[in-house]
Amino acid sequence: MKTAIVYHSSHHGNTKKLVDAIAQGNDVTLIDASAQGRADLTGYDLIGFASGIYGWKFHRDVLRFAEENLPEGKKVFFLCTYGGRPSTKAISEVVKAKSAVEVGQFGCQGYDTFGPFKLVGGIGKGHPDETDLENARRFFQGLCR
């Protein structure tokens, strides 16, 4: 199954760790939404969108990329890392507007030093850890069956 994962990862690289773990050993094209504004996704069977959670939503670059590049009717999944809690509402709305089909989502805690968390040295230290990465790989393998 030909797969692309569109991602944004900054600060501590939490999301990049997830997408790299999934891509390793699989036929997955990684697209950095912040570095590449346009891409032809029509040839992909499965498209993932991955981001840390910023203000209870995916990063604006991932949302914009999905709005501008997601073809109608594609199978889509979500990956996220978060300090507080996962939230896929904004990206789900974009996907629904494109008549795409959400086939799953995976999220895990990530190291977070935003705002007041910086004062206490951050939360989620060490995450995503190897267990998180293995769970992400299993999640992806389940989508490919």
At 125 the pLDDT is: 62
9: pLDDT strictly greater than 90: no
pLDDT 10s digits, 14-66: 889 999 999 998 999 999 999 988 999 999 999 999 998 887 889 999 999 99
In CATH terms, 3-143 corresponds, of 3.40.50.360, 3.30.420.40, 1.10.10.10, 3.40.50.720, to 3.40.50.360
DSSP state of 26: S
pLDDT for res 86? 84
The pLDDT of residue 37 is 82
Q: What are 64-90's pLDDT values in tens digits?
A: 999 999 999 999 999 999 877 788 999
pLDDT of the residue at 90? 94
| pLDDT for residue 108 | 87
Angle between helices 60-69 and 89-97 in degrees, nearest 10: 10
Contact 58, 91 (CB under 8 A): yes
Q: For Cα atoms 86, 90, 92, give the angle at the middle one, nearest 5 degrees.
A: 90
- H helices of the chain, in order, are 14-23, 60-69, 89-97, 130-143
pLDDT the model gives residue 145: 81
| Confidence band of 100 (pLDDT split at 50, 70, 90) | very high
87-108: average pLDDT: 94
The model's pLDDT over 107-137, given as tens digits with 9 standing for 90+, comes to: 987 656 455 555 555 545 666 899 999 999 9
Query: Domain residue spans in the chain?
Result: 3-143
What pTM, to 2 d.p., does this model score? 0.91
